[in-house]
């Protein structure tokens, strides 16, 4: 008989794992089966519940492969409730927050700072953390040009002086100088009246100037291509072809696997057929890179991959579940010594996948188990409907009668958050389920899914999170953010 304490530990572990799945998959946006409002309400409740009951574990989730939306929500929650933390908690949270902020895209951080300002969160720790993040930015002039409103709001909120006097003039009194010594700042000034200066600016800034000055789109894309990031080139290279801007191209083989899979899905089927060699080669190169030291080490692997109509998702998360499935397919191909993919539609060509048909997960799982794999991975939103419930029954009988020794490891990876259940939808009680966003995280998620079988308690999960935290933090060095240092105030910031 389990003791009350062990039962509480199991409940706590289940609560935290439920939150981790949500933090990986949920973004507060509309899904195929749920509206955006329900998603946000469900997610807000989970954050409040875990922060209130398991603060240490809530902060440790920052070290896992969660999405940026939830990372920002966790950071905001920790900073808003700073008065409830002990001195030791403030130190560990400060290090986790600083590390996660360094990995977040700058626009996401600036939106977070504006949210903290609107919520009137301006304690010493918040000011110290924002100050350190701004000080660590590699190019303050680039931030001033590209994220000017966000940087201004951050300096005002924390009462910080701008990094240089010239930068302060640019941010708060841009017409205060006839010229700027910093080339990028002066290019922004000249771009108001000089078209050639556009091509010295980042693409996202130059695009607005080009539209106002009615610069020909094709000519603009051709000349601005060297200023684009790789992701901007990937996003624009197809539309650039229509404007004869051949310079807008990126090396697909260098792109992250999931991002590349999304790009491929955005192409017409006819274009995928024409570019089969190029696209397949790029996807496999990205998959080998993502597999890293695990390349070819997973033995016999079978995968059931969902390409049913529901993988079209929504207008906000267009084809995101199918993107995850395609990226996972190529990664599993790289991880396995012997690989059998089975798509729910019955198709066999992953490159030409598109959302179609029902979701006969049970039938495909039977086919996969017939291959006697070492591992069975199921990538699906969990809506088994052809016939309903067959997948759960197949997996139950397999686990209890045919394979009680667990010779075949079975893991369900779900890329869709179910707002009604506060979790990702599960296929069967005896099969561990983990949330999935980027296929690159798949090996770590399979490891994390082992905790979801209900056979391990809070101590094991806490030890795992501590291990991930140590690997996540660069060094345990003391920082000003740990000590709640007070930033140097600016005397006269407008």
Q: For residue 351, is pLDDT > 80? A: yes
| Greater model confidence, 493 or 198 | 198
85, 91, 97, 99 alpha-carbon torsion, rounded to 10°: -170
Which two structure tokens, joined as six digits, stand for 394? 């197949």
Percent of the chain with pLDDT over 70: 91
- Rounded Cα distance between 38 and 188, Å, is 42
Neighbours of 212 (CB within 10 A): 10
Q: Specify the residue for token string 């999170």.
A: 465
Mean per-residue pLDDT for 189-201? 92
Taking phi first (over 0 means left), then psi (-120 to 50 degrees means alpha), and beta for anything else, what does residue 341 get? beta
Q: For residue 326, is pLDDT > 60? A: yes
3-class secondary-structure state, position 63: helix
pLDDT-derived band at 494, boundaries 50, 70, 90: very low
Which two structure tokens, joined as six digits, stand for 187? 């290019």
Q: Please report the beta strands in 204-243, taking only residues with DSSP state E, as ranges in sequence order.
A: none
Q: For residue 453, is pLDDT > 90? A: no
Q: Which range is least confidently modeled, 92-96, 121-125, 264-268, 421-425? A: 421-425
Q: Express the helix, strand and coil content of the chain in percent, nearest 5 each.
A: 60, 5, 35
Q: Which range among 182-191, 416-425, 428-437 has the greatest average pLDDT? A: 182-191
Question: Is residue 355 within 8 Å of residue 312, measured between CB atoms?
Answer: yes
CA neighbor of 380 nearest in space, from 434, 301, 461: 434
Position 6 scores a pLDDT of: 65
Structural domains of the chain, with CATH: 1-136+456-494 (no CATH), 191-254 (no CATH), 258-437 (3.40.50)
Mean per-residue pLDDT for 462-473? 90
Q: For residue 488, is pLDDT > 70? A: no
Position 456 scores a pLDDT of: 58
Q: For residue 96, is pLDDT > 90? A: yes
State the distance between the two ends of the chain, measured CA to CA, in whole angstroms. 66
Which two structure tokens, joined as six digits, stand for 472? 């996540």
Question: Is residue 131 within 8 Å of residue 163, measured between CB atoms?
Answer: no
Q: What's the alpha-carbon Rg for the chain, to the nearest Å?
A: 25
Q: For residue 235, is pLDDT > 50? A: yes
Position 33 scores a pLDDT of: 66
Q: For residue 484, is pLDDT > 50? A: no
| Greater model confidence, 318 or 144 | 144
Question: Is residue 384 within 8 Å of residue 392, measured between CB atoms?
Answer: yes
| Greater model confidence, 480 or 131 | 131
Mean per-residue pLDDT for 160-173? 91
- Rounded Cα distance between 93 and 91, Å, is 5
pLDDT-derived band at 241, boundaries 50, 70, 90: low
Position 12 scores a pLDDT of: 83
CA neighbor of 60 nearest in space, from 433, 476, 478, 470: 470
Instruction: For 347-395, give the DSSP string.
Output: ---GGG----S---HHHHHHHHHTT--SEEEEES-S--BTTBTHHHHHH
Position 130 scores a pLDDT of: 94
Instruction: Quote the Cα angle for 171-176-180, to 5°.
Output: 75
| Count of residues in the chain | 494
Q: For residue 228, is pLDDT > 50? A: yes
Position 455 scores a pLDDT of: 54
3-class secondary-structure state, position 301: strand
Position 458 scores a pLDDT of: 79
CA neighbor of 14 nearest in space, from 2, 22, 3, 25: 22
Position 13 scores a pLDDT of: 82
Mean per-residue pLDDT for 177-198? 92
Q: Which range is least confidently modeled, 26-40, 174-188, 415-429? A: 26-40
pLDDT-derived band at 3, boundaries 50, 70, 90: low
Percent of the chain with pLDDT over 90: 58
């Amino acid at each position: 008989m389990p003791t009350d304490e062990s039962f509480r530990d199991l409940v706590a572990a289940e609560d935290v794992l439920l939150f981790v799945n949500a933090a990986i998959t949920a973004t507060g946006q509309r899904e195929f089966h749920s509206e955006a409002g329900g998603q946000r309400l469900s997610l807000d409740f989970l954050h409040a519940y875990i922060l209130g009951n398991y603060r240490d574990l809530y902060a440790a989730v920052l070290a896992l492969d969660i999405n940026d939306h939830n990372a920002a929500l966790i950071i905001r929650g920790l900073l808003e409730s700073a008065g409830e933390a002990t001195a030791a908690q403030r130190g560990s949270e400060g290090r986790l927050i600083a590390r996660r902020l360094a990995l977040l895209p700058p626009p996401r951080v600036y939106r977070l700072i504006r949210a903290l300002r609107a919520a009137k969160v301006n304690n010493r720790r918040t000011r110290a953390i924002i100050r350190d993040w701004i000080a660590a930015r590699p190019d303050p002039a680039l931030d001033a040009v590209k994220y000017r409103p966000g940087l201004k709001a951050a300096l005002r909120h924390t009462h910080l002086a701008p990094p240089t006097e010239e930068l302060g003039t640019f941010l708060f009194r841009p017409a205060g100088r006839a010229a700027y010594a910093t080339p990028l700042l002066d290019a922004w000034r000249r771009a108001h009246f000089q078209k050639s200066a556009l091509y010295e600016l980042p693409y996202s800034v130059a695009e607005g100037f080009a539209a106002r000055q009615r610069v020909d789109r094709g000519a603009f894309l051709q000349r601005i291509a060297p200023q684009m990031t790789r992701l901007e080139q990937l996003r624009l290279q197809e539309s650039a072809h229509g404007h004869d801007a051949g310079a807008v191209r990126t090396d697909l083989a260098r792109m992250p696997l999931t991002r590349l899979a999304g790009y491929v899905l955005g192409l017409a089927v006819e274009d995928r057929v024409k570019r089969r060699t190029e696209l397949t080669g790029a996807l496999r190169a990205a998959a080998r890179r993502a597999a890293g030291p695990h390349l070819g080490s997973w033995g016999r692997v079978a995968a059931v991959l969902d390409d049913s109509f529901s993988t079209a998702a929504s207008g906000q998360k267009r084809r995101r579940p199918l993107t995850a499935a395609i990226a996972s397919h190529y990664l599993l191909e790289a991880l396995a010594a012997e690989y059998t993919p089975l798509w729910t539609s019955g198709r066999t060509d992953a490159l030409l996948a598109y959302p179609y048909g029902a979701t006969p997960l049970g039938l495909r799982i039977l086919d996969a188990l017939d291959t006697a794999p070492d591992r069975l991975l199921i990538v699906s939103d969990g809506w088994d409907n052809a016939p309903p419930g067959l997948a759960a029954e197949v997996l139950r009988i397999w686990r209890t009668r045919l394979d009680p020794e667990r010779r075949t490891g079975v893991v369900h990876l779900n890329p869709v958050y179910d707002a009604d259940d506060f979790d990702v939808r599960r296929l069967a009680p005896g099969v561990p389920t983990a949330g999935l966003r980027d296929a690159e995280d798949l090996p770590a998620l399979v490891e994390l899914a082992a905790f979801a079988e209900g056979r391990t308690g809070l101590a094991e999960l806490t030890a795992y999170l501590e291990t991930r935290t140590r690997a996540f933090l660069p060094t345990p060095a003391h920082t000003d953010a740990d000590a709640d240092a007070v930033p140097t105030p600016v005397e006269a910031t407008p």
